[in-house]
Amino acid sequence: MPVPDRWQPEPPLWEQLAAKSKAMPQGDRLQKVLAARGWGSRRLCEELIAHGRVTVNGEVAVLGRRVDVEHELVAVDGVPIGVKPGLVYLLLNKPAGVVSTASDPEGRPTVVQLVPGEPRVYPVGRLDAATEGLLLLTNDGELANRLAHPSHGVEKEYLADVEGVVGPGELRRLREGVELDDGMTAPAKASQPSPGVLRITVHEGRNRQIRRMCEAVGHPVQRLVRVRIGPLRDAQLAPGQWRALTDAEVRALAEAAVERA
């Protein structure tokens, strides 16, 4: 005669704990992961979790939560952050004549040749060969995709030496939008800090956009330099030099890449 379930002895405590542990998410403790990515001490990261500011895969995390850094999405205050080990973020001041690709069939120098070869990093977006200035290289594919996607509208600021002195009407056209062969540009910020020098800020990523905009208003570009990517600036970085982003810069960049409503 079978014994009723209620009379079955409970499994030993160690078996119960093992089964519970197996059912829980595996990986590193969340506060350890956050601390390693520069979000503060473990105690501070525990406070972030306790206050409900951290989510994993869209769900509010609790203290003791473990995460699989290879597959799970962690966010702080709604901003996704990279937690995989070995993520690298480099800021390069690209010189003229260098192409923004990993390799070039024409044998021209590339931006990846100007930074360490390991771990392998890739440029986020492109600057044409003649354009100079700031370029981000990273192996954080998730952040790179968000920065490059037009819905996030991360600003890029340029200084352009152009032919002639730009009049008020041409500045207004740059600000309101210029008709190009691939459509009207979005409104931009444009000013002329000195005669023949334009400061233009856009949040689109069209091919050779600044050059085409200036040519469309009758002032072709003679020299073009990108001086800002979202929150990133560095006037001290010489052409051809690079540096790693600080933890604060990575956080600011991630916050800038949040999709606009």
Tell me: the pLDDT tens digits for 184-194?
A: 999 999 999 99
Selected residue with higher pLDDT from 195 and 16: 195
**Angle, alpha carbons 14-15-19 (nearest 5°):** 120
Q: Which residue has the tokens 């070995």?
A: 86
Inform me whether the pLDDT recorded for 170 exceeds 70: yes
Selected residue with higher pLDDT from 31 and 2: 31
Report for 58-62, 85-89, 173-177: range of highest mean pLDDT? 173-177
Inform me whether the pLDDT recorded for 15 exceeds 60: no
- Confidence tier at 148 by pLDDT (50, 70, 90): confident
pLDDT of residue 200: 98
Task: Answer yes or no: pTM beyond 0.95.
Answer: no
Separation of alpha carbons 165 and 48, rounded Å? 52
Mean pLDDT of 94-121: 93
Lowest-pLDDT range of 196-200, 210-214, 248-252 = 248-252
Inform me whether the pLDDT recorded for 248 exceeds 80: yes
Phi, psi of 72 (to 5 degrees): -95, 150
- Confidence tier at 260 by pLDDT (50, 70, 90): low
| Residue 178 and residue 218 in contact, taking contact as beta carbons nearer than 8 Å | no
Q: In the chain, what are the domains?
A: 14-81 (3.10.290.10), 89-150+233-256 (3.30.70.580), 155-229 (3.30.70.1560)
**Angle, alpha carbons 234-35-149 (nearest 5°):** 50
Separation of alpha carbons 35 and 30, rounded Å? 9
Separation of alpha carbons 258 and 221, rounded Å? 32
No. of helices (H) and no. of strands (E), the chain: 7, 16
Q: How many residues does the chain have?
A: 261
Element housing 162 (H / E) = strand 156-162
Q: What mean pLDDT, rounded, does the chain reach?
A: 87
Q: Which residues pair with 82 in a beta bridge?
A: none
Strand-strand pairing, 197-202 and 74-76: unpaired
Q: Which residue has the tokens 């771990």?
A: 119
Element housing 184 (H / E) = strand 183-184
Catalytic residues: 128
